[in-house]
Amino acid sequence: MKPLVLLSADTVLLGQLQNAFARQAPELSVVLADDPAARDAEVAACWFPPAGSLARLPNLKLIHSVAAGVDHLGTDPEHAEVPVCRVVDPAHRQGMAEYVRWAVIHYHRDFDRALKQQQRQVWLRHPQKPAADYRIGVMGLGSLGGAIAEELAAAGYAVRGWSRTAKRIDGVQTHAGDEGFAAFLDGLDLLVNLLPLTEATRGILCRKTFEALAPGAAVVNCGRGAHVAVDELIDAVQDGRLRGALLDVFEKEPLPLDSRLWTTPGIAITPHMASAASHDCIARQIGENARRLEAGQPLLNRVDTRLGY
């Protein structure tokens, strides 16, 4: 079997993945980009591959994301037109649900305000709002978003959902398409984004979207960094249109130290930790697809590159 090459600027991740492949797919020869054997690689396992790194692989037959998303592959737009696959971890939904539950409680129960008060030594209890009166919108109703919206509704929240095509979810008021977007947003207290990144959704978290929410609403982005119009988000938080935002994903990761997102009061940053496949799961799934590629068998979790997921 030809070598498999790991492509990422994250040197810590590269080491962790090398160890995982050694455990889960020891029959594979796994190399890094600077290894001369990389030119023979037919499979590239990627996380934000450095610009031009894919184009330097003349025998490339499969690009494999090490995550559930594939938009980070756009950091190297010159790659060959070959199949693209992603990792699907059965535990991914659980991790994402835990993160969103924390985000919901953080804003619904005013923990964001309490933490700010502590910095000023202020003792003030805010009126507790019943869950039924707290309006949450979930953008993206796929396997993750749909399950999370249903779970929040079961917990007693007033939940709406929005997706590209119409969906039905118990306890959730669903909307679809451009024609349903305004009604979905109207007066929400918390907006959670779990959309895939497409040209239609790029920059969807923007001034126009924020202005449709309830005054003082909060935004949680677990989708993709390019969903956010960063300057418009910062302006909305600074002028009080939004009470805050919780961001887990960014167009460039790690988030550059000079980004204003780090230092804007009211914006909370987490390092792409909402949910991630285990390194062993990544190695198993990519190893299986490498074997399938060599045997001429159908690939698992192949991406429709036209849709971006």
Residues 6 or more apart whose CB falls under 8 angstroms from that of 276 comprise 67, 89, 92, 95
Number of structural domains in the chain: 2
How high is the pLDDT of residue 1? 80
Q: Are strands 30-32 and 190-193 parallel, antiparallel or unpaired?
A: unpaired
Q: What angle do CA 236, 110, 114 make, to 5 degrees?
A: 100
Both 76 and 124 in one domain: the answer is no
pLDDT in tens, 226-254: 999 999 999 999 999 999 999 999 999 88
Active site residues: 224, 272
Query: Is the overall model pTM greater than 0.85, yes or no?
Result: no
For residue 305, being part of any structural domain is answered with: no
218 located within any domain: yes
State the pLDDT at residue 309.
Answer: 66
Q: Tell me the pairing of strands 217-221 and 242-247.
A: parallel
- The answer on 282 and 164 residing in a single domain is no
Provide the residue type at 285 as one letter.
Q
Q: What is the DSSP letter of 267?
A: E
Instruction: Report if residue 31 sits inside a domain.
Output: yes
Q: Do 73 and 153 sit in the same domain of this protein?
A: no
Domain that holds residue 220: 93-269
- CATH number reported for the structural domain that contains residue 32 in this entry: 3.40.50.720
> Would residue 300 count as lying in a domain?
no
Based on the fold, state whether residues 100 and 80 are members of the same structural domain.
Answer: no
Residue 92 — very low, low, confident or very high, per pLDDT cuts 50/70/90? confident
Residues 60 and 200 grouped into a single domain: no
> Is 306 inside a domain boundary?
no
Classify residue 303: in a domain, yes or no. no
Residue 144 to residue 96: CA distance in whole angstroms: 7
Name the pLDDT band for 216 (thresholds 50, 70, 90).
very high
Is 304 a domain residue? Answer: no
What is the per-residue pLDDT for 155? 98
Confidence at residue 77, expressed as pLDDT on a 0 to 100 scale:
57
Half-sphere exposure of 118 (CA within 13 A, CB side): 6
Q: Quick one: which of 263, 276, 256, 209 has its CA closest to 236?
A: 209
Asked if 169 and 250 sit in the same domain, the reply is yes
| One domain for residues 234 and 100 | yes
Determine contact, residues 197/225, Cβ cutoff 8 Å.
no
pLDDT at 78: 57
Are 172 and 213 in a shared domain? yes
Instruction: Please tell me whether residues 123 and 194 are part of one structural domain.
Output: yes
The answer on pLDDT for 307 being more than 80 is no
Q: Identify the residue whose tokens are 């939940």.
A: 159
- Grouping H, G, I as helix, E, B as strand and the rest as coil, residue 244 is strand
Helix axes 11-24, 279-295, angle to 10 degrees: 60
What would the pLDDT profile of 103-157 be if each residue is shown by its tens digit?
999 999 999 999 999 999 999 999 999 999 999 999 999 988 999 999 999 999 9
> What backbone phi and psi angles, to 5 degrees, belong to 192?
-110, 125
Domain identity same for 63 and 159 = no
Position 45 pLDDT exceeds 90: yes
In a domain, 109, yes or no: yes
